[in-house]
Amino acid sequence: MRLDALKAAIGANLFFLFATLAGQGTFPDLVENAYGLDQDLVNGIQYSNRYMRSEGHPYFLEDRFKNGFVSINGKIYQNVQLKYDLFSQRVEIKHDKISGRNYRYITISDRMEAFSLGEYEFRKLKIQEEPERYYQVINTRHFTCLVHWEKKLVPLDNSVIYIDHFTNHRLYYWLELNGEIIAFNNRRTFARLFPRNMQREILKLFRQRHISFRNVGPDKILRTMEMVANLFNTEG
């Protein structure tokens, strides 16, 4: 008797719950709303466009979501739709709801240790006296190149539509070699970080391939590091 009464009470409560939620979405939406998604992943600030009066965009490469992964509190989530805001240094995530709709939110950077956008991987690092921030990480067998990306907002004086505009991206480079992490900003300061017997070959490579570290994209940085790493094989 008591068991029957308990079942009846549970059934009544469930009926009342779904009757109350009726009209708020389909059954999968109700389940999603009631129990939530992974609270580490879906946790942040609701997105709003703060740049409506700004010319250009603040994002890494282009203003569209790309597939990647995020690492939050030590847990990795694959196949996430991301954009990296180089001005605010925040990552935006687009979540597709069960109902077919989607919403965007800005992640809490303190909880995100790493993420990727396609083939480009970023990690939060504290390097020497620099503040903790995200760096693109390019690993080779012999060294690691770390690149911090950012954009600035600059006021506009002669526009009736926009009040400011985003600059081109700016890059800050570091190289980890033989346990040391040292900053560089051009071809010569980069070559000086390597053994003397390699420096001339590196500069020769840069001249032949017209390689620069100014205003370049991530693909060119990747290719440059691969070519420099191959010199270890010829020198060894």
Instruction: Please report how the helices 196-209 and 218-235 are oriented relative to each other, as an axis angle in degrees rounded to 10.
Output: 140
What's the average model confidence in pLDDT over 124-145? 95
Which residues, including other chains, have CB under 8 Å from residue 69's CB and lie 6 or more apart? 76, 77, 78, 79, 80, 115, 116
Instruction: Please report how the helices 2-21 and 27-35 are oriented relative to each other, as an axis angle in degrees rounded to 10.
Output: 100
Q: Which pLDDT value is given to residue 221?
A: 96
Backbone angles phi, psi at 174, to 5 degrees: -140, 150
Looking at the DSSP bridge assignments, the partners of residue 45 are 106
pLDDT band at 18 (very low <50, low <70, confident <90, very high): very low
C-alpha to C-alpha distance for 49 and 222, rounded to whole angstroms: 32
> Taking the domains of the chain in order of start, what are their residue ranges?
1-36, 37-235
pTM to 2 decimal places: 0.78
Is the pLDDT score of 113 beyond 50? yes
Is the pLDDT score of 31 beyond 70? no
